Amino acid sequence: MTGSLPPHDNRFRMDLGVPIGLTRSNLLLRWRLAILAALAALALLAWWWTAARMAGMDAGPGTDPGALGFFVSAWVVMTAAMMFPSIAPMVLAYAGMQRGRRASTPLFVAGYVLLWGAAGLAAYAALKLGGQLDGGLFAWHRAGRWTAAGVLAAAAIYEFTPLKYACLRRCRAPVGFLVTEWRDGRTGALRMGLVHAAWCLGCCWTLMAALFALGAMSVPWMIVVAALIAVEKLLPWRLLATVGSPRSSQRWQSAWPPRRRACPA
């Protein structure tokens, strides 16, 4: 015997695949909240892993990056911890324009992480090559401190360049980026994540260089740089963020003396 729903009880009826009483806008809101929760959870997990992995390690300038596998895993997790909060508006805007095609959103994020991983490999190669050629010249007690000061100065100057502004404008305008760079399908999602990461890299590369100069394995420095990136990308008062970036770095450099211990081989 088949039962029937009461005349006014539409909780379980379906209209075009969407339960009546749960509109498409409500579904989109739930999907966006789920994305925010996932990004926040992944960022928190990445920060926890980073803090646990870096505990007791060399946190000062000129840190040996260690073995390739260790560095790549640490770099990818560190990137997720530092960048996921600031890319949340872009990911939410992308998910909203997908109109329910949820499978593409993780690919967008994967493309973003993939390009940052490639940037980490380039940084690793530069660090290893520099360590082999400098003969200890860039040790902190020799030219290291002056090199770090030069990197900070370059980062401060770059904050006011047209290239920095162009990259930051793309990062701060999700809808504009998506309209100009839109590609359909999963391959398109991966490509768009790569392109967005390229603009993000153009915006943040000097801050990352400053992180390496001051202590790539230092969790406090990671927090400072991540906060500066989030301020630049998310808050409306960009001028305060850019002016504060080099000054904050100089203050924190004097407040956080380097600690030493070798990375895993």
Radius of gyration of the chain (CA): 22
Q: Is residue 6 part of a domain?
A: no
Q: Is residue 265 part of a domain?
A: no
Q: Is residue 204 part of a domain?
A: yes
Cα–Cα distance between 45 and 2 in angstroms, integer? 49
Cα–Cα distance between 229 and 200 in angstroms, integer? 10
Beta-bridge mates of residue 171: none
Whole-number pLDDT of residue 133:
64
Q: Is residue 72 part of a domain?
A: yes
Taking the chain (265 residues) in consecutive chunks of 10 residues, what is each chunk's mean pLDDT?
44 43 64 83 86 67 72 86 89 81 83 93 83 61 72 87 90 89 90 95 88 75 85 68 47 43 43
Q: Is residue 201 part of a domain?
A: yes
Cα–Cα distance between 119 and 205 in angstroms, integer? 9
Phi, psi (rounded to 5 degrees) for 17: 85, 0
Q: Is residue 33 part of a domain?
A: yes
Q: Is residue 82 part of a domain?
A: yes
Instruction: Show the domain range for 101.
Output: 21-255
Q: Is residue 10 part of a domain?
A: no
Q: Judging by beta carbons within 10 Å of its beta carbon (0-12, 13-18, 19+), is residue 189 exposed, middle or buried?
A: buried
For the entire predicted model, the pTM comes to 0.73
Work out whether strand 18-19 and strand 14-15 pair parallel, antiparallel, or are unpaired: antiparallel
Whole-number pLDDT of residue 188:
92
Q: How many domains does the chain have?
A: 1
